Structures are given as C-alpha cells and as structure tokens.
C-alpha cells in the first residue's frame, strides 16, 4: 500500500474524527488517501485557525485534536495555535508536509527546518524518514499528546515518503496507566490539613483534565474547605455554591486574594504555574502548600511545598478524603463571599451608551442560562470575563491562558460546536481579535454550524491601551479602523445585530440564542471601566 494510505489507517485507528487544515502540494497524497475514510477534513481559511480548532477540540473532549498544513508558510502558520495547545495542555497532533528528503540538505524552495521551528512548542516532534515506521510514530504521537501533562505533538511527512509503497498496520491503542499518590504522602498531607485552621483550595485545569470535578466538590463539601479556581478551572463549583470564592488570575491584587491572605494552608489541586504564578497569590502570607497534581511541583520561591501528592488528581482527592477530618468553615469565608458578590455584580444593571463590560457579561449570563460554552478571545474583554463571568459547569468558559492568543474565539467556537453539537456556543471577542480570524465564519457557514459571536467594539487594541494608561497615563498607536460588521456579516449571508445602548443588549442576545444560524452581535463598549478597575485593584486591602 501507499505510505499515505497507511498513515490514514493509523489516524482512523486512533479514533480521529476531524482534521482541521489546508491542503497543499506537499500533502496531496495524504489528502487523497482521506477519500473513503471515516475522517472528516475541515477546510479552513488560515492554518492558524486550524491549529486553534484542534486546540479547543482537544481541550473540550480530552481526545486528540488534529491539524494539517503543508510545508513552509503553511507549517509556520500553525505555530501560534500549537503554542497555545502546548502551554494550556490541550492534546493536539499537528501534521505537516515537507520537501522530499533528497533536497532538504540544501537551500530549496519553501524548505525550512520545521522540526527545529516546532521544537520549543511541542512535547515531541518527529520527521518520518522511512515509511514502515508510520504505525510506531503515530501511536507514540497520540500517546504522548494525551499523557499528563497533555500538549502538542508534531509529525512531519515528507512528500516522497508519503507516496512510497510500504507494508504495515496500525498498532493497538492501549489504555493509559492511572497513577496514585503514595499512601504515606496522603497521610502526611491529611495530617497537615487536619492541623490547619483556615485551609483553602486553589483548583487548576488539571481538575477538569483528570475528570476530578465531582471528587473536588465532594471533598470540599465534606471537609468544609473553600475553593478558588484559576481562569482555566472555571465551573468546578457552580456560581451559587457556598464554598466558591470564584476566580483568581488578575496580575494585581484582587478581592479574592483576601482568602489567601487569611488562610494558613493552601491546597493546590491540578494547578499549573502557567495559569497564575504563585508570586501573585502567595507573596505576603507565604503559606505552606499541599501540592496535588499529576507531576511534581515546579520550584518557585513563592511556592513552599510542604507535601507533594503526585498522581491522578481524582484518585488523590478520593484517597485524601478518607483521612481528612471535617472542619468548621472559617468564619471569614461567608463574609468574603458576600463582599465578592457585591463587588463583582455592583454594575450588572448599569445603563447607558456605549455599554459597560459588566453589563454585557451580566446580560450574557441571563441569556445563556448556564448552558452555553463560551469561548473568549484575548483582549480587554478577556480580563472582564475571567474575573466576572462564572459558568455553572466545567469547560463552559474557555480562555486562552498560557499563550494568550488573539484570534482564537471564532475558530475555537467552531471546534466547540463540532465537539458539542447540542450545546449553544458563544464566541466573545474584541474587534481586534475578530478581524484576525473572523473570516472563519465562512467555515462555520459551510458546515451549517449555529454559533453566536459577540464583538466588544471600540476600534482599539483595548487591552494594550489599558496597560499603557496604567503605566504612562497616556496611550499610543492602539487605534484602527473597523469595517461595518453588519455588512461584513451580510457578505457571508450571516445575520448581524448592532447594539449601541445597554437596553438593546439582552433582547439581541436572546434573539441570537434562539436562532439556529450564525449571529454576530456588534456591541459598542465603554472601556473607561478598565482604568477604574485597575485603581480598585491597586488599592486592594483585606478588611475582613
């Protein structure tokens, strides 16, 4: 058989449903071999979007997302999305074409060393040099992508290898081993928790990745320990849960950090440093840490680990629960939660034109009723979503955190809808982020996917203006000219709704949510609130 045929058989064996990408001259054999397979190739308009789609698909499903590009510029266009998957621990396999082996030793048309380029943003990165190694390489790639901690892997298939004759068959897919923390460490950690008076849990994305959400809730409820989550662990507790102290992640003193300042022990569960560095939440109190995660703790001066529980997060929580005694909920928790509720929702109903970001998110929450998967782009709106928007379920608010990649929302929403066709999906983006990959609404339209896109419209790179104003009290080179987004939508045969006043917002959201089509809601946003928030955070004092 042809090597590209064997390659596709191996992908089918791994359970691949979709490949996101763009065909090119150097991957034509692989594209041809997909004919008759049960894999759907999703043609996109930019390879960056393909990588973002694979990234979000992997993060939402726990299965490997796959993207494909040709050599040279096609491959390098994948890089941003691959970096996002690498730092946010989403399982992804990127496949790129390459020039024939007979010409890669010299200067050649479109040839650069893509293996070298991808080295720093992948867990493993391999060129196929002989066709009979294809089953081993693909099996290793998919296994490596999902092993803790998950991430991006890259396979390069040169065009001459793809068309060679070969023999072979896919290797068996075996279950991953589940490791458990050592019992001695469990007992030691339990003793430390039992001695503490004011423990607090910091939940990271590993709680969701390891399927430990229910175990975390059961542990927190049984032991009366409050929970704070990172941007990537939103929804581990519902917003009305008495033990949730919501979200940390702002690189400034926020009210929720009062809980850390008052605590005498911090239990980090499935937490990665890339989510929120310890110096931002443990710089003053320097509380001791109980570390529960799939890998040992990173070394950091602000992360004084007392006990390390290394293994599957769910298994660790279930074991720990056996030895930890129920505690009295420390008296300041209710007071802090009440203060947080007051601060986070103080401007939910504020009226006017343009619309305050707090009002946009409050009305979005009303419209989606806790059921939608919300994909946030990167920009000023991301910080408002991360701080204020509390989903009711895990993996229902997706934020590019470690890599913080603009342009992720629209392609991410497409992947989310493919992964969860029965759920409403909403992309929240700024105008800057939307213009980077907004053309992918053509992909969504071609696929018949219904998604809602909310654009925070200010004709600026609002987050950079925010940073400039905080640092210099002036801004520079952040403005740009937007198209008419309603006409833009119309050109793709997509519905557009303009919102200039807050009173127009909720009806527009409800109409869009009820639609079975793509709807773009263009909202004029008042970002004067950004600097006000910075002043509030800068003057943070724990007054409990």
CA–CA separation, 103 and 111 (whole Å): 9
pTM beyond 0.85: the answer is yes
Torsion angle of the four alpha carbons 204, 209, 214, 217, in this order, in degrees rounded to the nearest 10: 0
pLDDT of residue 109: 62
CA–CA separation, 150 and 211 (whole Å): 14
CA–CA separation, 24 and 504 (whole Å): 45
How distant, in Å, are the alpha carbons of 75, 207, 222, 291, 315 from that of 212? Answer: 35, 5, 15, 15, 8
User: For domain 3-162, is the CATH number 3.40.50.970?
Assistant: yes
Least confident residue range of 14-18, 64-68, 176-180: 176-180
- Above 60 in pLDDT, residue 106? no
Query: How many other C-beta atoms can be found within 10 angstroms of the C-beta atom of residue 540?
Result: 16
CB 127 within 8 A of CB 156: yes
CA–CA separation, 299 and 338 (whole Å): 35
CB 152 within 8 A of CB 94: yes
CA–CA separation, 20 and 417 (whole Å): 14
Residue 46 phi, psi (nearest 5): -155, 140
CA–CA separation, 266 and 256 (whole Å): 14
Q: Which residues of 55-77 are buried (b: 16+ CB within 10 A; e: fewer)?
A: bbbbbbbebbbbbbbbbbebbbb
Q: What number of helices (H) and strands (E) belong to the chain?
A: 23, 18
Q: Name the residue among 250, 247, 277 with its Cα closest to residue 466.
A: 250
pLDDT of residue 419: 98
Tokens of 144: 């490596």
Q: What is the pLDDT confidence band of residue 542, given thresholds at 50, 70 and 90? A: low
Q: Is the peptide bond prior to 354 cis by the omega test (within 30 degrees of 0)?
A: yes
Got the DSSP string for 442-466? Answer: HHHHHHT---EEEEEE-SB-HHHHH
- Above 90 in pLDDT, residue 19? yes
pLDDT of residue 539: 61
pLDDT of residue 254: 77
Tens digit of each residue's pLDDT (9 = 90 or more) over 410-468: 999 999 999 999 999 999 999 999 999 999 999 999 999 999 999 999 999 988 888 89
Q: What is the residue whose two structure tokens read 């040279």?
A: 72
CB 455 within 8 A of CB 429: yes
Residue 435 phi, psi (nearest 5): -70, -15
pLDDT of residue 24: 94
CA–CA separation, 202 and 438 (whole Å): 35
How distant, in Å, are the alpha carbons of 104, 128, 144, 476 from that of 155? Answer: 16, 7, 12, 42
Homologous superfamily (CATH) of 183-332 is TPP-binding domain (3.40.50.1220)
Angle at the Cα of 330 from the Cα atoms of 384 and 242, rounded to 5 degrees: 45
CA–CA separation, 25 and 206 (whole Å): 39
Tens digit of each residue's pLDDT (9 = 90 or more) over 33-51: 999 999 999 999 999 999 9
What's the number of CA atoms in the CB half-sphere (13 Å) around residue 285? Answer: 21
Tokens of 157: 């298939």
CATH hierarchy code of domain 345-536 = 3.40.50.970
376: which strand partners? 399, 428
- Above 70 in pLDDT, residue 320? yes
Name the more confident of 210 and 540. 210
pLDDT of residue 285: 65
Q: Which residues of 510-528 are buried (b: 16+ CB within 10 A; e: fewer)?
A: eebbeeeebbbbbbbbbbe
**H or E segment and range at residue 244:** strand 244-247
Q: What is the residue whose two structure tokens read 């390489």?
A: 137
Which ranges in the chain are annotated with CATH 3.40.50.970? Answer: 3-162, 345-536
pLDDT of residue 429: 98
Name the more confident of 538 and 397. 397
Name the more confident of 99 and 384. 384
Average pLDDT score over residue span 226-251 = 93
Tens digit of each residue's pLDDT (9 = 90 or more) over 241-272: 999 999 998 866 777 888 888 899 999 999 99
Torsion angle of the four alpha carbons 126, 131, 136, 138, in this order, in degrees rounded to the nearest 10: 60
Tokens of 249: 């992640």
Average pLDDT score over residue span 56-69 = 98
520: which strand partners? 453, 496
Q: For a pLDDT cut of 90, what percent of the chain falls above it? A: 82
Query: How many other C-beta atoms can be found within 10 angstroms of the C-beta atom of residue 1?
Result: 13
pLDDT of residue 463: 85
CA–CA separation, 429 and 381 (whole Å): 7
3-state DSSP call for residue 104?
Answer: coil
pLDDT of residue 541: 59
Tens digit of each residue's pLDDT (9 = 90 or more) over 346-376: 889 999 999 999 999 999 999 999 999 999 9
Q: What is the mean pLDDT of the chain?
A: 93
Q: What is the CA radius of gyration of the chain?
A: 24
Angle at the Cα of 38 from the Cα atoms of 32 and 40, rounded to 5 degrees: 70
Name the more confident of 533 and 109. 533
Would strands 244-247 and 227-229 be described as parallel, antiparallel, or unpaired?
A: parallel
Q: Name the residue among 500, 378, 494 with its Cα closest to residue 436.
A: 378
Q: 445 burial class (0-12, 13-18, 19+ CB within 10 angstroms)?
A: middle
């Amino acid at each position: 058989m042809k090597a590209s045929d064997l390659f596709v058989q191996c992908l089918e064996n791994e359970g691949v449903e979709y490949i996101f990408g763009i065909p090119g001259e150097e991957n034509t054999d692989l594209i041809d071999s997909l004919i008759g397979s049960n894999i759907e190739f999703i043609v996109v308009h930019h390879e960056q979007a393909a990588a973002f789609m694979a990234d979000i698909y992997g993060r939402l499903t726990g299965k490997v997302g796959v993207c494909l590009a040709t050599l040279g510029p096609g491959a390098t266009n994948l890089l941003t999305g691959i970096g996002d998957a690498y730092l946010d621990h989403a399982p992804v396999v990127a496949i790129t074409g390459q020039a024939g082996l007979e010409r890669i030793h010299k200067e050649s048309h479109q040839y650069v060393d893509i293996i070298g380029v991808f080295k720093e943003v992948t867990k493993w990165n391999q060129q196929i040099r002989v066709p009979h190694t294809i089953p081993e390489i693909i099996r290793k790639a998919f296994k490596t992508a999902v092993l803790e901690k998950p991430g991006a892997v890259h396979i390069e298939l040169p065009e001459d290898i793809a068309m060679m004759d070969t023999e072979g068959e896919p290797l068996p897919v075996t279950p991953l081993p589940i490791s458990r923390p050592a019992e001695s460490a469990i007992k030691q950690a339990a003793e430390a928790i039992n001695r503490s008076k004011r423990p607090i849990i910091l939940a990271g994305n590993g709680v969701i990745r390891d399927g430990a959400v229910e175990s975390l809730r059961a542990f927190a409820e049984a032991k009366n320990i409050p929970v704070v989550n990172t941007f990537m662990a939103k929804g581990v507790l519902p917003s009305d849960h008495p033990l949730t102290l919501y979200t940390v992640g702002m690189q400034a003193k926020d009210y929720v950090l009062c809980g850390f300042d008052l605590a005498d022990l911090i239990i980090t569960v499935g937490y990665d440093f890339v989510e929120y560095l310890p110096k931002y939440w443990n710089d003053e109190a320097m509380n001791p840490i109980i570390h529960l995660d799939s890998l040992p703790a990173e070394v950091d001066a602000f992360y004084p680990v007392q006990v390390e529980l290394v293994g599957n997060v769910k298994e660790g929580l279930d074991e720990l629960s056996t030895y930890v005694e129920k505690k009295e909920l420390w008296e300041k928790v209710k007071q802090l939660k009440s203060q947080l509720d007051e601060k986070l929702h103080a401007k939910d109903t504020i009226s006017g034109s343009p619309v305050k970001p707090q009002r946009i998110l409050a009305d979005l929450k009303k419209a989606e009723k806790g059921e939608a998967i919300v994909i946030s782009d990167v920009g000023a709106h991301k910080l408002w979503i991360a701080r204020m928007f509390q989903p009711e379920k895990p993996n229902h608010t997706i934020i590019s955190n470690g890599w913080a990649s603009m342009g992720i929302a629209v392609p991410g929403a497409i992947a989310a809808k493919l992964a969860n066709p029965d759920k409403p999906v909403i992309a929240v983006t700024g105008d800057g982020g939307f213009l980077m990959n907004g053309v992918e609404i053509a992909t969504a339209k071609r696929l018949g996917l219904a998604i809602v896109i909310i654009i925070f419209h200010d004709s600026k790179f609002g987050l950079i203006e925010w940073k400039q104003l905080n640092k210099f009290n002036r801004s520079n080179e952040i403005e740009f000219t937007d198209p008419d987004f309603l006409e833009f939508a119309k050109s793709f045969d997509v519905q557009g709704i303009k919102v200039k006043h807050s009173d127009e917002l909720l009806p527009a959201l409800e109409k869009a949510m009820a639609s079975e089509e793509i709807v773009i809601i263009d909202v004029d946003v008042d970002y004067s609130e950004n600097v006000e928030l910075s002043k509030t955070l800068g003057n943070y004092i724990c007054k409990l």
